[in-house]
Structure 1
Amino acid sequence: MILPNKLNRGVSAIALGLALTALTSGVAMAQDASTAPVEEAPVEGEIVVSGIRGAINNSVQAKKNNTSIVEVVSSEDIGKLPDLSIAESLSRLPGLATQRLDGRANVVSIRGLAPDFTTTLLNGREQVSASNNRGVELDQYPSELLNGAIVYKTPDASLIGQAIGGTIDMRTVRPLAYGKRAIAAGARFEINDLGKLNPDISNKGYRANISYIDQNADGTLGWAIGYARMQSPTAEERFNAWGYPEATDGTNTAFVIGGAKPYVKSNELKRDGVMAVVEWEPSDKFHTTIDGYWSKLKDEQRLRGIEFPLFWGNSTLQPGFTVEDGLVTKGVWTGTEAVMRNDVVHRDSTIVAGGWNAQFKPNEKLTLELDLGYSRIKKTEENLEIYLGTGRGQGVGARETALGFEMRPNGGIMFDPSLDYADPNLFVITDPQGWNSCGGAVPNCQDGFVNTPRVKDQLKSLRLQATQEFDGVISSLRVGANYSDRKKSLDDRGFVLTSKNYPADTAVPADYLYDPVSLDFIGIPGMVAFDSWRFYNDGNYNLTDGAGFDPARVFNDYTIREKVLTGFVQANFNADAGRTPIRGNVGVQIVHSDQTGSSFYAQVVGGVTQSTPVTDGAKYTDILPSMNLSVEFADNTFLRFGAARVLARARMDQLKPGGGVNFDTSKRDNTDVNASPWSLDLGNAKLRPLMADTVDVGLEKYFGQGGYVSIGGFYKYLENYIYRQVNPFDFADFEVPDGGTVGTREGLTKQWLNGNAGRVYGAEASFSLPFANLTQSLDGFGVLGSASYTKSRVREGTEDAISMPGLSKWVINGTAYFEKDGFQVRASGRYRSKFLAEVSTISLARDMFMAKSEFVVDAQVGYTFQSGALEGLGILLQASNLTNEPFVTYYNNDPRQIRDYQNYGRNFMAGITYKF
């Protein structure tokens, strides 16, 4: 059976945690914690717990009390979420899974739906994104500054930011609710066990944070401020394949590696974040809060490796290669001209977010509320490629006489070269493959390239609402409106780098050279390494704007403007059917959208890019009803039901109205539109959102303190899935690129359009079991776990059902913990089955490739002094990716045809925290 096999991966994390906790189980007998759960002042005389168990109790209680179907993650204490990032914390919730970037959890899929189908809020306000589209990159938000998050799997009518996947609402602390003074600080040292793969980026780093919460003597004014600093290392050994064409030796025909780009990569991620909150409640009639958030993230990368063009270069596969089940697994290439890379990435993004909320109660039953929100991000990037080779252009310089290769069972390829890639006299600055002629003017001109995309995203919002309470079955009625204005733009630029010594080759000056960098993970002992960033900035290259001869550099640009007015009404009810409490809400949103997209039509005419600005858009109104029902048919046992109509707006790059015009001169005389020389890839600013009708059912049983078990199912009917469709197009307004005659002005275009219906459905189960609920002799031990099964049936036209981006059929999480008398031990594992991942391709474009299943294990051990001079001091050891799980994507639905094999290594941390 499938289920037990998958559950074995998740349960193994629990087993690991129990083994670790056994080491400390004999040192503690009982724990009396006087610290109240975060944002919940204790009832006088009540004994409460903090730390892991306090966070679990808070999360379970919030899940129980909410009328919607939600998942909750809570901070263990001020400045202390249970994981290194909010993304990792969210990935442990039932039905949620993360995709890793550079070894870090980065974006979240909910119930098998990609990040673009999810909305992320901060304190109830929608957030902008540093990505090219809508998915929020959560590593921009320091976990030390967040107090927790709620994931709404079913919406209510007053929830702004409804989404098909779900809505994530990250929360900062509220000082008046926290109810006491607290100062907390922490520091951690971090190291990656792959070592220092590149000489100019360290494998060591640190994290530091400090938070302060206080109130005035009357408890009417509260304030909180926090600062977090991170300089975190990541490392990566990466094998990348260009594809797998078919090769033959006259007898055997099989797929073979067509080209490879293996390299070692070192990252240094620097992030500064500040959170501030001021809360004032002078009377029971007025309450106002101002909160602000600022974060600056700098990601510095060094990538060094070698590209082997192989099949798509001028290499020859020698006869006698080994074939296994239709794939060449061992052989020899000759004539290969390698391209050595010394690349640099500088990524800089700054986010500013905040808002003002004011609530006024003219009487005991009526609450009026005003909320102003603002979110803005600016992201800049320099992605520098610097090339070395043995000569300028193909067929010039030394080539491989015998480049042996053998595919490894776990991914990647081992090479056996005939050239010495660590010889700086052999490998010089040049254009080894003649990749560019700078628009035809300068042959073999590309000695390097630099991509410089810029993203700006800004969102302003205004919300007004009124809530009237009643004494009957209808407990309250809420009416209101929210207006948001969002503007996002991408400026995609790229420049060809040509050495100022062109056409001569240039030896790397000795003062720029480093010791050779090892590529032994692919069988190559060393390669030439030098300070390419300094060499570039010292003015050794001429730059040619790629927009002059590459139309993609023009039509990739876009500006999208969305003005959305949402009116809503929601009735909350609380009734007893006999002795059965029934709670819930019913309501409707009326959403009016005014969207505009601006971009370009671009084509190459006479070797030069011509661009024509184009602006388009649409206005439309959607009606989104919703209902949530919670029936407590037995003590602490709930039957939940949710039904709603929700939407997910089209991706930003789908909404751009322009496109690139292509002309195939070999077809110029054809008159059949299906064989036309004209073609066009086109966006669509008139796209409607993807609509879905959703139904959720859940059964939840709560017991003891922090214990529960839950099962449920969901069904989402997708009404108008967006995909590329082929249609005729009139190209009469475009020039024939070479000025010659043409058989037809009709052609075909691939355009994003709303299309077929489909469905996504699945089941979830989760539990929390503190062992003290079974016997006090196991007080302090506990386990958490969840399993989700999701399937989809979505078709693009008449084709077979597609794989939905971000959908893993199985997502399984497990955590085992022990916490008592200051001791804390925890191990967590998260498993997700294969899924369609979004990854970077040529010129930083994004594309979809199937990713292998993965199982990631993290663990931590700590102790906090409970009394004496060191009271409040905590010592912590943490380890992430203990199983050293790689991120692997592949081609052609064949896991052996590896596209990317990324080995991240393990990160270990040691730190202290202090609260007083």
Structure 2
Amino acid sequence: MTPFKPNRLTVALVAAGLSSVVYAAEPAEGTEAAAEQADTEVIEVRGIRRSLTAAQAEKMDNSSIVEAISAEDIGKLPDNSIAESLARLPGLTTQRLNGRANVVSVRGLAPDFTTATLNGREQVTVNENRGVEFDQYPSELINGAVVYKTPDATVTAQAIGGTIDLQTVRPLAHGQRTVVVNGRYEVNDMDQLNPDVDDDGYRFSLSYIDQFLDDTLGLAIGLSSMSSPSQFERTHIWGYPEYEGNLVMGGYKPYVQSSELQRDGVMAVIEYAPNDRFHTVLDLFYTDFADNYSLRGAEIPLQWSAAQLDPNSIVVEDGLITEGSFSGVKPVLRNDYEDRDADLAAIGWNLEYNFSDLWRGEADLSYSKASSRTFSLESYAGIGRGYDEGLQDTFGFAMTSEGARFSNNTNYADPALVQLGNPQGWGFANGIQDGFINDIDLEDELSAVRLSAARIIESGALSEVEFGVNHTDRSKDKVYNAAYLQLKNDAATTVPSEYLLSPVNLDFIGIGDLLSYDSRGLYGSGDFYNEFDALKLDAWRQTKSWTVDEAVTTLYTKLDILTEVGEMPLKGNVGAQAVYTDQSSDGFGTLVDENGQIQVVPLSGGSDYWEFLPSLNLSLEVANDQYVRLGIARTLARARMDQMNASLELSYNAENVDETDIENSPWGGSGGNPELEPWMAWQYDLSYENYFSSSSYFAVALYYKDLENYIYQQQTIGDFSGIPVSGPEPALREGYVSIWQNGEGGYIWGGEVTLSVTGDVVHDALSGFGFSVNYSYTDSEVQEGPDTEPLDLPGLSEDVVNASFYYEDYGFQARLSARYRSEFLGEVSGLSLARDKRFVEAETIVDAQIGYDFSGSGIPALEGLTLLAQVLNLTDEPFMTYENEDTRLVRDYQSYGRTFLVGGSYTF
């Protein structure tokens, strides 16, 4: 007799068509079993409770330690985006980009340590790393997600942080014809900060699910389109140099930025199961994504310029100059834009065949490709071209918790006064720089094939054995171009009236109006700027182009455990993976020779290696619907691809041509490392879960990750053979290079507590109410060497809290949600769109929504209609970074405002 016992929740969900989990249980025999199934009470749930119930069923019945989210209805996840929904799960957090949740950290580990899959298949990305940007995936086309905190041997795309599997609907499991139309209008309360970008947008989706041929053929199609605006005020302080022993602002950049995210997506699923032996699913997914913004404001050089700080005006507090006045200030007015266009396509075909009652085989083929182009333009204007031309201004300042406020004496919105041209006279090899272009093309391509077989074991503690092989080929290419812009007449130029726009307002820092013009039109006309290839002027820029290729073969086997300990059911699995990786990269080595000429040579490199990854997952039901789970596994997270590239910026000092001591070698350099191996860790997880109703549970978990290594930038000896030099042959062809390398490890540990309760657990009168709250704590210690200070790990917040309170009854629905994360080391865009790490201040994001479902209204014409209103970032929580772990030293301050959405859905 098998100890397998489907719980009440699973039976209800499977009967209602809510669960996407497939259960292999023996068919019921005899009239008693049939009667038992016939008497099973099936309760239809909708809305928020539907989402919580399905997600809880996934968590409860999985052998691994997982978290899950599920759509409230077809085409409707419980939050405005997938990333926001994921960020509400225990141990997960997200960082905002342009006001939107974008990338996800799991258990204190940055997106570098997290893998995302779609229907179990690893996904390509539209950036130069592996971290998936979740706003690339329309939430309306995703039916749910499972986060694997402990892997089993069949999870081939595992990672140290966790694996996030996004899931589309399965039409045969859904079991009925459904047509759903969703539409929403959205607007930001900051109004229109830039005159050429709208402040309102829309979201629309259409989902169709049906079954044919006596429910053996299923079809699901989803269409999604959105135009989502964001408006925000942002400031950036260049840094804090010293003035007479005290710190003062080096310069200030206040901007108003307006962006528009336009995204169209298509999802299609064809599922065919003509009999009990054969089952196949074809998945198609495509998104076209454009994230464009206009940015206008000023660069105000202060201490790091020719401006003079009046010593009689300053006020000092604890070593920081908080008030003062600079004379000789010449602001550089910026009218910039960035266009980022990307598309992602993924196709997967899964075939499963039962050869007998005991044996089954499976094949899975997939291909995905992402392409993106980021084009950004900087256009400079001001009063006079060059520091000595035109008037100079006086700026008084006072530091605030948001950066600083200023007073000044000039009207920077006067088109007769402000002209095109760089008022600071910043130069490059060919003269004054009046603008700049960054142009990046990325392409990521991945193909995979997976073959597996499984056999049911009819007796003993083991229920099934599965073994297989998974092979992936991945290639990521980055092409970087850049150009300096210089006015064609090499002099300050009045902005033609046809390009002038309404001024933008910087009252939020006290400056007032600034001149605004159509920089897209100016540049596109070809009448104003000459372009100078920056790659021919700056050697380091050529190292930003590279290719990384990766072939990974994973052999795996897994044994499922199904037995009893005493009278307590025990299930789980034990298995292992043997992973072979063959990686290589092509790039460029650049060298400025003694004549000032840039020499470029192709570079390449790579390596191959094996890793062995055992895993164990056990789930013991210590009491009815109460589980103790244990997970032990050795895991890996592959290195960032931008760290694996072969490009190096080289240096050569001809004065040391005769040196034979490596310490005085004429050679040097820095860059990537194509031989870089992955992060490795042993992880240990223990949890207790108590499910006391279909949508209520309590859980507590502890985990410890023993990092075998970490990746640092360190010096090593490089071989410079084959690098051409003019003049005598150097005595040494070796020298120190600073590259990314695998070094000392450390540990990460933490705990999570979750409580999710519906009101009927307390009293029937409270059945419409419910809440969910979770708290996560994470700590780490990673050192580059035995005598070094512990590192701050990117993405790690020590404390994370999520809470949601809701009411849902009589068709009404209301929810208030908040997520808090303590300070962490985040990533922002730096010089030439490179990533820059900065400390991010703690933040609390609050969202709210209300709605009404007319299904219970008794009005037949409105059956299936739901209306909804949402407010995102209800408290207008800012995004703030700071320097040297001192919150007074503000680097970035961004205020996004509130976003309002109203709309509805109709289900046929």
**Into which bin does the TM-score normalised by the smaller protein fall?**
over 0.9
2:192 equivalent to 1:196: yes
> What is the CA–CA distance in structure 2 between the aligned matches of 1:899 and 1:670, rounded to whole Å?
44
For residues 736 and 325 of structure 1, do their structure 2 counterparts lie closer, same or farther at Cα, with a shift above 3 Å needed?
farther
Task: Determine the C-alpha separation between the residues in 2 that align with 1:840 and 1:552.
Answer: 18
Kept after mapping to 2: 8 A contact 1:548/1:608: no
Structure 2 gaps of 5+ residues are: 1-14, 23-36
Residues 407 and 740 (structure 1), Cα distance of their counterparts in 2 relative to 1, 3 Å cut = farther
State the shift of 1:132 in Å. Answer: 1.2
1:857 maps to which of 831, 841, 846: 846
Q: Could you tell me how far 1:79 is from its partner in structure 2?
A: 0.2
Matched, 1:680 2:669: yes
Cα displacement string for residues 404-441 of structure 1 (whole angstroms, at most 9, x for unaligned residues): 111112x211111222211222221113333332xx2x
Residue 374 in structure 1 maps to residue 367 in structure 2: yes
Are 2:133 and 1:164 equivalent residues in the alignment?
no
Distance 1:576 1:431 in 2: 77
Instruction: Report the equivalent of 2:203.
Output: 207
Give 1:676 deviation, angstroms.
6.7
* 1:73-88 → structure 2 map (5 Å cutoff): 73-88=69-84
Q: 1:306 aligns with which of 298, 308, 320?
A: 298
Find the counterpart in structure 1 of residue 869 from structure 2. Answer: 877
Q: Assess, with a 3 A threshold, how the Cα gap between structure 1 residues 190 and 35 changes in structure 2: closer, same or farther.
A: farther
Distance across 2 between alignment mates of 1:749 and 1:108: 33
Look up the SS of the partner of 2:192 in the other structure: coil
For 1:559-613, what per-residue CA distance to the aligned partner results, in whole angstroms no more than 9, with x for missing partners?
0000000000000010012211110000000000000011111123344432111
Asked whether the 8 Å contact 2:195–2:501 carries over to 1, the reply is yes
- The alignment status of 1:337 with 2:333, answered yes or no, reads no
Range with bigger deviation, 314-323 or 870-879: 314-323
Give the 3-state SS of the residue equivalent to 1:492 in structure 2: strand
Alignment partner of 2:72: what SS?
A: coil
Deviation at 1:667, TM superposition (A): 9.5
Partner of 1:637: 626
1:399 Cα offset (Å): 1.5
Between the aligned partners of 1:426 and 1:741, the Cα distance in structure 2 is 57
1:416 corresponds to: 407
Aligned to 2:772: 784
Q: 1:326 to 1:662 in 2, by over 3 A?
A: farther
Q: Distance in 1 between matches of 2:763 and 2:368?
A: 49
Provide the C-alpha distance between the structure 2 equivalents of 1:731 and 1:489, rounded to a whole number of angstroms: 25
- Which residue of the other structure, out of 657, 672, 694, is the alignment partner of 1:705? 694
Structure 2 residue aligned with 1:599: 587
Alpha-carbon shift at residue 749 of structure 1 (Å): 2.1
Which structure has more RCO (C-alpha within 8 Å, separation ≥ 6)? 1
Aligned to 1:13: none
Work out the CA distance in 1 between the residues paired with 2:492 and 2:589: 38
Question: Which of 112, 115, 128 matches 2:111?
Answer: 115
The TM-score, its normalising length taken from structure 2, stands at: 0.93
- 1:327 aligned partner: 320
1:549 touches 1:607 (CA, 8 Å); kept in 2?
A: no
Amino acid at match of 1:784: S
Give the 3 Å change call, closer, same or farther, for CA 35–202 of structure 1 in structure 2.
farther
- Name the SS of the counterpart of 2:356 in structure 1: coil
Quickly say closer, same or farther: Cα 1:702–1:910, change in 2 above 3 A: same
Q: CA deviation at 1:670?
A: 9.4
Shift of 1:122: 0.1
1:352 and 2:338 are equivalent in the alignment: no
- Asked if 1:768 is matched to 2:760, the reply is no
| Aligned partner letter, 1:469 | I
- The Cα shift of 1:742 comes to 9.2
How many Å separate the matches in 2 of 1:879 and 1:572?
A: 46
Task: Specify the SS of the correspondent of 1:626.
Answer: strand
Counterpart mapping for 1:257-272 below 5 A: 257-272=249-264
Over 3 Å counting, the alpha-carbon distance change for 1:168 and 1:841 in structure 2 is same
Give the partner amino acid of 1:283. Answer: N
- State the distance in 1 between where 2:652 and 2:434 align: 28
Distance 1:671 1:840, change over 3 A: farther
- Residue 363 of structure 1 is matched in structure 2 by 356
Question: Which letter maps to 1:479?
Answer: F
1:837 to 809, 826, 839: 826
CA distance in structure 2 between the aligned counterparts of 1:460 and 1:85, rounded to whole angstroms: 27
How far 1:728 moved relative to its partner?
4.3
> Could you tell me which residue of structure 2 aligns to residue 429 of structure 1?
420
Shift of 1:45: 5.0
Secondary structure of 1:57's aligned partner: helix
The number of aligned residues is 871
Q: Aligned to 2:501, what secondary structure does the other structure show? A: coil
Cα separation, 2, equivalents of 1:38 and 1:906: 35
Task: Decide whether the 8 Å contact of 1:549 with 1:604 is kept in 2.
Answer: no
Partners of 2:318 and 2:642 in 1: CA distance: 39
Work out whether residues 19 and 57 of structure 2, in 8 Å CA contact, stay in contact via their aligned partners in 1: no
| Partner residue in 1 for 2:783 | 795
Work out which of the residue numbers 683, 707, 711 in structure 2 matches 1:694.
683
3-state secondary structure, aligned to 1:198:
coil
Aligned twin of 1:10:
none
Asked if residue 135 in structure 1 is aligned to residue 131 in structure 2, the reply is yes
The correspondence for 1:295, drawn from 287, 291, 296, is: 287
**Are positions 1:652 and 2:645 aligned together?**
no
1:365 alignment partner AA: L
1:23-65, CA deviations, whole angstroms, 9 ceiling, x for partnerless residues? xxxxxxxxxxx97536589987512211100110111111000
Higher alpha-carbon deviation: 720-729 or 695-704: 720-729
In the superposition, the TM-score normalised over structure 1's length comes to 0.93
Q: Please give the secondary structure, in 1, of the residue aligned with 2:630.
A: strand
> What CA deviation, in whole Å up to 9, does each residue of 1:65-94 have, x standing for no partner?
000000000000100000111000000000
2:189 paired with 1:176 = no
Residue of structure 1 in register with 2:29 after alignment: none
1:53 alignment partner, SS class: helix
Residue 389 (structure 2) pairs with residue 396 (structure 1)? yes
Amino acid at match of 1:759: Y
Which residue of 610, 615, 627 maps to 1:626?
A: 615
Distance 1:628 1:45, change over 3 A: closer
CA contact (8 A) 2:17 2:175 kept: no
Q: 1:217 to 1:735 in 2, by over 3 A?
A: closer
* Change in CA separation of 1:723 and 1:569 when aligned onto 2, cut-off 3 Å: same
What amino acid does structure 2 have at the position aligned with 1:898? V
Name the CA distance, whole Å, in 2 between partners of 1:436 and 1:456. Answer: 33
- The farther-off stretch of 663-672 and 813-822 is 663-672
Q: Distance in 2 between matches of 1:906 and 1:632?
A: 45
In structure 1, the residue matched to 2:436 is 449
Residues 252-303 of structure 1: CA deviation (Å, up to 9, x unaligned): x211111111100000110000100000000000000001000001111000
Q: Displacement, 1:145? A: 0.4
> Out of 467, 492, 508, which is 1:505 matched to?
492
The DSSP-based 3-state class of the residue aligned with 2:849 is strand
2:523 match: secondary structure: helix
- Alpha-carbon contact 1:128-1:377 (below 8 Å) kept: yes
Q: Distance in 1 between matches of 2:126 and 2:376?
A: 16
Q: Is the 8 A contact 1:549 1:608 kept in 2?
A: no
Alpha-carbon distance, 1:139 to partner: 0.1
**What is the distance in 1 between the residues matched to 2:660 and 2:326?**
43
Distance 2:505 2:658 in 1: 54
Percent identical among aligned pairs is 47
Letter paired with 2:619: S
Equivalent-residue separation in structure 2 for 1:747 and 1:322 (angstroms): 49
Q: 1:608-649: CA deviations, max 9, x gaps?
A: 432111110001110000000001111111110000000011
In the alignment, is the contact (CA less than 8 A) between 2:585 and 2:674 conserved in 1? yes
The answer as to whether partners of 1:288 and 1:356 remain within 8 angstroms in 2 is yes
| Cα offset, 1:395, TM superposition | 2.7
Q: 1:681 deviation in Å?
A: 1.2
Q: Does 1:544 align with 2:525?
A: no
